Structure 1
């Protein structure tokens, strides 16, 4: 199982805080997970396909396409600014 988390405005836009993807239902690569989630509807597609979306796997930020395994946590964040 993979736990997928959504933060800040993504949580509100997608009306989803957390999603559990069961064994056998999740793809092997982060890019494939994003494509799978993007198929839900236009809001999900916008979030998943945006170049600005930030992603962390197991609390480590990544811009690379990484392999996923059972027990992983994937988190999606909107771009953030300091102030």
Structure 2
């Protein structure tokens, strides 16, 4: 099992801040695709290349291989000014 955390606008769109599911052996890209199948709001919130991802509090790319027990986080790009 893994824990997935959603932040900021992503959390607002998908309607939850946390989700637990089986995803051992998937890449982040495959996980994003799987989550997008939950509906239009999920698809809009989790567009690949527009969402940042972290595994165990470290930024990772979309090819990161998920392991059982990982904590995955999705959040929008951050800008400053």
TM-score w.r.t. structure 1 length? Answer: 0.86
Check the 8 A contact 1:58/1:72 in 2, yes or no: yes
Tell me which residue corresponds to 1:58. 56
Worse-superposed segment, 59-68 or 72-81: 59-68
Tell me which residue corresponds to 1:44. 42
Distance (Å, rounded) in 2 between the aligned partners of 1:65 and 1:50: 11
Q: Which runs of 5+ in 2 are unaligned?
A: none
Check the 8 A contact 1:3/1:71 in 2, yes or no: yes
Q: How does 1:69-80 map to 2 (within 5 A)?
A: 69-80=67-78
- Partner SS for 2:46: helix
| 1:4-34 deviation digits (Å, cap 9, x = unpaired) | 000011111110100001xxx3251221111
* Structure 2 residue 17 is matched with structure 1 residue 17: yes
Distance (Å, rounded) in 2 between the aligned partners of 1:34 and 1:50: 7
Supply the RMSD in Å over aligned alpha carbons. 1.3
Q: How many residues align?
A: 80
